[in-house]
Amino acid sequence: MAALKIVTVVGARPQFIKAATVSRAVAGRHDVKEIIVHTGQHYDANMSDVFFDELSIPKPNHHLNIGGGPHGQMTGRMLEAVEGVFIDEKPDWVLVYGDTNSTLAGALAAAKLHIPVAHVEAGLRSFNRKMPEEINRILTDHAADRLFAPTAEAVGHLRNEGIDTDKVRQVGDVMYDAALFYGERAARPDWFAATGLHADEFVLATVHRAENTDDPLRLEGIFRGLAESNTPVILPVHPRLRGKIGTLVEDLAEQVRMVDPVSYLEMTWLIQNCAKVATDSGGLQKEAWFHGKRCIVLRDETEWSELISSGWNILAGANSHLISKWIRESAPESQERSVDYGSGDAAGKIVAELMGCS
């Protein structure tokens, strides 16, 4: 019997982490063959190459080198390129992750070629259609043949949109798999000792979404809130943010230590050792929860709304007063973490499900 052939499409840093869990579940099996396609959406070496190395992800079989440009142009170029790969590889399944342009391009190309599509992290909704990611999520979910939802709330969103429930599987969150596995392998950044900081003395912050980086008033509000918290802040600088930091922001950020992008294992160590997290990242909101750290969400809404409704994370947007207030505020000692992201075996369930569908 021929091995099940899966083509995995990735292109952005969070997808590398998620894909690593499934690749590890596939490794050593003789009945499954995985072909990895890297679109090149994250083309900075610190945002891409280092992740494949430290997470022990197999090197991509196809590297498309498509990055930069407007959303339509990027997605169109990816769509054309991955279609050619699918025609050549003739996979049994195409596996896509999350909500990037790479996700949508992979799903559309496969659907048009009548190749079954599986979507990991299906059913997430921010209900803000101004976000490109929200459009990518919705279209991918409606094109997919198997939808792997991380939570009961995500399953409910799919049901409310009329998606056939026979296609949906609640498997848990592959990012929880990653947190458990790589948490034991976390690595302190070489530069950290020079900061003179100790565990629980600093806030870990990230800012990368266009809604924040491209709006000077929002960016100023975020940095003002971080600076006025009177708490040391470590902020790895995303390439999108680097060119947006003007003189005003630099003046506000004397206690915000801006460092180069860090690897996943270094980021994991920083999460484990920080006091709180402040971020506009989707993935980092959950990783903070996985490692028991409260998170101030620098957005006006989030696709991980269960973390807000549980009282663990807090929406602050770009409001400097709220950001500084909630950084300083002590967390309740008895706060329970009641959100269900599975048992850390989501990747194995995904592979088993795809095997059962073959």
236 three-state secondary structure: strand
Q: Is 208 a catalytic residue?
A: yes
Q: Which among 157, 208, 238, 291 is annotated as catalytic?
A: 208
The single-letter DSSP state of residue 125 is -
CA distance 85 to 96: 14
Largest alpha-carbon pair distance within the chain? 65
Helices vs strands, H then E, count in the chain = 16, 13
Print burial letters for 176-203: b (CB count within 10 Å at least 16), e (below 16). Answer: bbbbeebbeebeebeebeeeeeeeeebb
Q: Residue 53: which H helix or E strand, with range?
A: helix 49-54
State how far Cα 177 lies from the chain centre.
13
Work out whether strand 32-38 and strand 62-63 pair parallel, antiparallel, or are unpaired: parallel
Task: Give residue for tokens 């939570």.
Answer: 151
Question: Which of 231, 242, 240 has the alpha carbon at shortest distance from 277?
Answer: 231
Query: Which positions are annotated as active-site residues?
Result: 208
